[in-house]
């Protein structure tokens, strides 16, 4: 079973799927399954294997969904004695279950393959992300123009979700050439589960974009998902400096930082 399970994990990661592996790490007394029993849970609720079925398994499935969404592991302890007290069974034993997230490599998708996009791709690849370039100008969406990208999508921004699975492990960085491009493409991106959507440019440019999006019926709640101007304030000027500003914000959000200088950190 373990060999099949690990093969399934490998294949699922290749497809960009998120999972949680639930393992009984300790079983005392009478319990449904022994230590080492495993269950693999997918983001859509599918699961393979079992840790005992019944109420115990239902609770672990719920916890696994949370672990997939937060990316943080959990150690669960259950007494299997008295359902009247809230126990998930009556076997008489105790069970400890470790639930660990198994997530694909996080994706940086850069929409706009010009000077800044190329610099961001280089830095994001160096930081360990899977990197994709999307640009409706085919000449900007090639390995020659962006040698650090893993994938290329020479399509209009609004068509990107048709070609790429945009999920909670995806960061969308719009380094586009103008507000009109963003107005046309952002509504489709706002319907995805992307973890982050950032738009390059000034506050004035974003205000113009917001006006155009509202005219299309985009809600305030959807607009609130967008980070614009994108990046941390570094007074960056060159494409490389701008890339550092943008990726610094990504790292800050990824790890729950606050962007303060380290000497002021508590």
- Domains, the chain, in order of start with CATH, read 2-102 (no CATH), 107-262 (3.40.50.720)
Backbone angles phi, psi at 48, to 5 degrees: -125, 135
- Pairing of the two strands 38-42 and 19-28: antiparallel
**39 membership: H or E segment, kind and range:** strand 38-42
**23 membership: H or E segment, kind and range:** strand 19-28
pLDDT block averages, 10 residues each, the chain of length 266: 82 88 86 85 90 83 92 85 55 83 93 96 96 95 95 96 92 94 96 95 94 94 95 94 96 90 79
**118 membership: H or E segment, kind and range:** helix 115-126
Tell me the C-alpha distance between 133 and 175, whole Å. 10
Burial of 87 (0-12, 13-18, 19+ CB in 10 A): middle
- DSSP-H helix ranges across 160-218: 160-163, 179-190, 203-215
In the β-sheet with 19-28, what is the strand arrangement from edge to edge?
47-49, 38-42, 19-28, 94-102, 74-79
Residue-wise pLDDT tens digits, 30-86: 777 788 889 999 988 899 988 887 878 888 999 999 999 888 999 988 776 655 555
Q: Global pTM?
A: 0.80
pLDDT at 85: 58
The alpha carbon of residue 153 and the mean position of all alpha carbons in its chain are separated, in whole angstroms, by: 19
What are the residues whose beta carbons fall under 8 Å from the beta carbon of 95, sequence distance 6 or more?
Answer: 24, 26, 27, 28, 31, 32, 51, 52, 56, 77, 78, 80
Is the distance from CB of 103 to CB of 18 less than 8 angstroms?
A: yes
């Amino acid at each position: 079973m373990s060999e099949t399970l690990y093969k399934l994990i490998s294949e699922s990661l290749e497809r960009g799927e998120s999972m949680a592996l639930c393992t009984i790490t300790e079983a005392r007394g009478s319990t449904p399954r022994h230590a080492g029993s495993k269950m693999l849970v997918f983001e859509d609720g599918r699961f393979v294997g079992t840790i005992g079925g019944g109420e115990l398994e239902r609770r672990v499935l719920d916890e696994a969904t949370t672990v997939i969404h937060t990316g943080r592991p959990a150690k669960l302890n259950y007494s299997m004695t008295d359902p009247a007290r809230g126990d998930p069974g009556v076997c008489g034993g105790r069970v400890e279950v470790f639930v660990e997230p198994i997530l694909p490599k996080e994706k940086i998708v850069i929409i706009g393959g010009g000077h800044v996009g190329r610099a961001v791709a280089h830095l994001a690849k160096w930081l360990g992300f899977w990197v994709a370039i999307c640009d409706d100008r085919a000449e900007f969406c090639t390995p020659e123009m962006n040698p650090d990208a893993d994938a290329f999508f020479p399509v209009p921004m609004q068509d990107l979700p048709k070609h790429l699975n945009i999920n909670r492990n995806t960061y969308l960085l719009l380094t586009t050439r103008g507000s009109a491009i963003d107005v046309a493409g952002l509504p489709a991106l706002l319907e995805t589960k992307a973890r982050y959507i950032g738009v390059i440019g000034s506050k004035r440019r974003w205000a113009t974009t917001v006006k155009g999006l509202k005219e299309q019926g985009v809600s305030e709640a959807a607009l609130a998902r967008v980070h614009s101007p994108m990046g941390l304030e570094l007074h960056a000027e060159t494409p490389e400096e701008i890339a550092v500003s943008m990726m610094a914000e990504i790292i800050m959000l990824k790890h729950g930082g606050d962007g303060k200088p380290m000497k002021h950190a508590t």
